[in-house]
Structure 1
Amino acid sequence: MKRTLITNGCIISMDPAIGDLATGDILIVGDRIAEIAPRIDAKADETIDAGGQIVLPGLINAHIHSWQTALRGLGGDWAGSDYFNFFHQTLAPRYAPEDTYIGTLVGALAQIDAGVTTIFDWCHNNATPAHTDAAIDALFESGIRALFGHGTVKPKQKPGEPHFSQVPHPVAEIARLRKQRLSGDDGLVTLAMAILGPDYSTIEVCRQDFRLAREFDLLTSAHVWGRPNRLVSGGYRTLAGEGLLGEDHNLVHGNYIADDELKVIVDHGASVTSTAAVELHFHVSEPLTGRVKRMGGFPSIAIDSEVAARGDMFDVMRFALRAQRLFDNQATVKRMEADGSASEFARRNQPVGTGGSPISQVSVKTREALEWATLNNAKAMRLDHRIGTLTPGKQADLILIRTDRPHMVSAQDPVQAVVYYAQGSDVDTVLIGGRIVKRDGHLLCDRWDQHKAQLQASAKRLLDHDPMR
């Protein structure tokens, strides 16, 4: 097995037992981390000098629709139901398998380029098995680690056909994938079910989908908002009461879920993923990171759709952190105003002509945001035994970030440097399972010009006669 030694790096392990090393080495044997120490004297087939760089676990994107990559920037000014009406019901049906393939491939490559080593690829435009196979082909070709979420389409209802909310997840497709290409749980690409859930399907369909997933021992994930128009009015209270809710479920969004229902979700061990940048594009309700944390859960964050948001987990960390602090700060000031302490603070602590703030401490620390994007996202995907921290025995998924660029060179704290200042172009090296997939700032992709041309051709064909253009 190949032995790779990374030396002289500033290591952020995200493992409390190992901590951070101002300068340290990492030995990789095959696809796993073998040792982490201030200095390692060992023979290696390849040595990577990480001097002047920050070494940390590869970022994890816990929710992305990479099949949509060809249509980046289409929905930046959409509002209301535009995404559903014009993307899912107008554009999505135009996708051929080759569109799904190239969108997924370039989307995955872009994630690697920006320091992401694992994605939960939520593929819900697979109208045929050929679309599904095209997406899986692309994930394998990209070299990324992926949890492939097999979803279902949301077409306009045709006369004589049931609404999509009444159609259970296809048993034959899950059986085919689970018994063939994605039969194992230790490969680079593994299987999950991206189901309709209590907002978008009837209780009968929910029951069938949850039970199907458990039959094949698969994680389920659902888009959920918790608004009054949801199809299962009791939401997760109903599912929990029937024994269907557990650690094998992940929900995304959930901004309108009431506290009592969220408590049921957290207490049953289900994970909650927030995509704050997309959620606050369309909504004003607080993302769930803070509420989940206060209830004892582990917040998870993600990009969601690049149709209306930048596909960069550094950007996601910053936005999620600042959005949570904003909502928390507003709540603190409202409490102070209600009990009269706000005016007392102003009188005693803000002399004329000076600034000041009634917020005495931040509600969420910077390191927590990095945890959301690494270990917590691994937990949400049931992969924390394999990835999420730099720990001997885990997969060697890690990234090296340069600190010599003008916007990074004076950053004093490495965690704050990563969360507040780093961007995808600072990612110098990426390893996935011990394999180098980006080196010296360059993505290792021999056919990039071909892929770029294919993606542009796909976008042109998909947007012909688009009513929104």
Structure 2
Amino acid sequence: MNRILLRGARVITMAPGRPDAERIDILVDGDRIAVTGENLDAPDAETVDFTGRVILPGLVNTHLHTWQTALRSVGADWTLLEYLTHLHGNAVQHYEPDDMYVSNLAGALNQINCGTTTLGDWCHNSLTPEHADAAVDGLMQAGIRAVFLHGTPYRDPDLPHPLAEIDRLLNGPVRDHDLLTLGMAVQGPQYSSPHTAVADFRAAHERGLVASFHQSGGALARGWEAVRNAGLFGPSTNVVHGSDLPDAWVKKLVRVGVTFTCTPENELGQGHGTPVTGTLLRHGAAPSLGTDVDSVVPGHILTAARLALAHQRSLDHAHRQRTGSHANTPTVTAKQALAWATVEGAKALGLADQVGRIAPGMQADLVAIDTRAVNLWPAHNPIAAALHADIANIEAVMIAGRWRKRDHALLDCDLDTVKERLLAAGERLLHAMGAV
């Protein structure tokens, strides 16, 4: 197996009890981190000098509808209602399996380019088994670590999740691929009848799968109490957005280990409601982060982290101005925001024992940021440098011990062909939608 020794960088491990940043070496053995420490000796390993860089755990984009990549940016000025009308009321019916494949391939490659090593692919356009298989194939071809959250277009509240498809995927390519796991993108208690919501959550629980669902404001439907009374909310439950959830409900959900995912740029821009970040922090929890829809906003998870941090700080400043109180320390820190894009993302996808931290035994999912660039130099604060990095600063990305990006370039992919196919798919879809 390949052994790679990374030297010279300042390392942000995100591991409990460790300094914010350390000058340590990392020895990768196969797909895992073998050892971390000063002046490691590994004469049989390939040595890579990363002096002037910051290495951190691979970023986690917990929530992305990757199937929309072919329609990138078409909805930049859409409200939430327009998005639902144009994408879910029109575009979904025109998708062919090949559109799913190339969207997921290109979308996942873009995520790797941005430093994301783990993707929560919330695929609620699995029209047929062929569409689902094509989406999975795109992820596998890209080489990203992913949780394929199988979903379908919005349907009747009494229609349960297609469990035959879940079991088929579990017994097929998902079972045989080391980087891919399965989850369920369910309609959830807000958009399902109580009986259906309970049945879907129970099915996910019985299969040991993460059940993720949307909640974007409005009075809570009866399904919430039904799922709670059935004891089916827990650590494998992921609430996306959670905007305007009553404080009492957030407290109940946090107490039983439910995770939350914020997509701040999309939430603030399209009108989902106020991100739930502050409510979570008050209850001793924290959000994971997603970028949501490439059709509306860019897919850079570090941008999402900065927006979430700035938005919460603005709310805290406004509160102090109203009350006349003052604080001598920041209410939220840059390290917390970086944790939302690493540790918390891994937890939300059920992968906390594999990714999100740099420690022996963890998967070798790593990102090297070139802090010698003029926009980051001098990097007095490695945490801030990592958080402030742009795509051009993402020098190298490793997933399961394999380089997927080196010297600022993606590896093992024919980008020109992928881009040509993505353009053709997008133009065909736009024509079918009547948009061109």
Q: Tell me the TM-score normalized by structure 2.
A: 0.96
Q: Which consecutive residues of structure 1, in runs of 5 or more, have no partner in the other structure? A: 155-162, 342-357
Do residues 332 (structure 1) and 332 (structure 2) align?
no
Q: Equivalents in 2 of 1:118, 1:238: separation in Å? A: 32
Whose Rg is larger? 1
Give how far 1:112 is off. Answer: 0.3
Give how far 1:43 is off. Answer: 1.9
Do residues 208 (structure 1) and 175 (structure 2) align?
no
- Counterpart in the other structure of 1:265: 253
Do residues 319 (structure 1) and 286 (structure 2) align?
no
1:295 aligned residue (259, 272, 283): 283
Do residues 459 (structure 1) and 426 (structure 2) align?
yes
Letter paired with 2:294:
E
Q: After the TM superposition, which residues 8-407 of structure 1 pair with which residues of structure 2 at under 5 Å, given as runs?
A: 8-154=8-154, 163-183=155-175, 187-228=178-219, 232-233=221-222, 236-283=224-271, 285-336=273-324, 360-407=328-375
Structure 1 residues 140 and 20: alpha-carbon distance in aligned structure 2, compared to 1, 3 A threshold = same
Letter paired with 2:407:
D
Letter paired with 1:303:
T
Q: Could you tell which deviates more after superposition, 25-34 or 211-220? A: 211-220
Question: Percent same amino acid at aligned positions?
Answer: 39
Do residues 444 (structure 1) and 411 (structure 2) align?
yes
Give how far 1:284 is off. Answer: 7.1
Give how far 1:268 is off. Answer: 1.3
| SS of 1:42 mapped into structure 2 | coil
Letter paired with 2:191:
Y
Q: Equivalents in 1 of 2:435, 2:136: separation in Å? A: 30
Q: Equivalents in 1 of 2:302, 2:14: separation in Å? A: 16
Cα deviations across residues 384-429 of structure 1 (Å, max 9, x unaligned)?
100100000000000110011111112310101111x211111111
Q: Could you tell which deviates more after superposition, 189-198 or 199-208? A: 199-208
Number of residue pairs the alignment of both structures matches: 436
Letter paired with 2:156:
F
Q: Equivalents in 2 of 1:44, 1:204: separation in Å? A: 59
- Counterpart in the other structure of 2:382: 414
| SS of 1:396 mapped into structure 2 | coil
RMSD: 1.6
Equivalent residues of 1:86, 1:468 under 8 A apart = no
Give how far 1:215 is off. Answer: 2.0
Q: Equivalents in 1 of 2:47, 2:5: separation in Å? A: 5
Q: Equivalents in 1 of 2:203, 2:281: separation in Å? A: 30
Letter paired with 1:10:
R
Give how far 1:204 is off. Answer: 1.5
Q: Which consecutive residues of structure 2, in runs of 5 or more, have no partner in the other structure? A: none
Equivalent residues of 2:394, 2:408 under 8 A apart = yes
| SS of 1:418 mapped into structure 2 | helix
- Counterpart in the other structure of 1:160: none
Q: Equivalents in 2 of 1:284, 1:449: separation in Å? A: 36
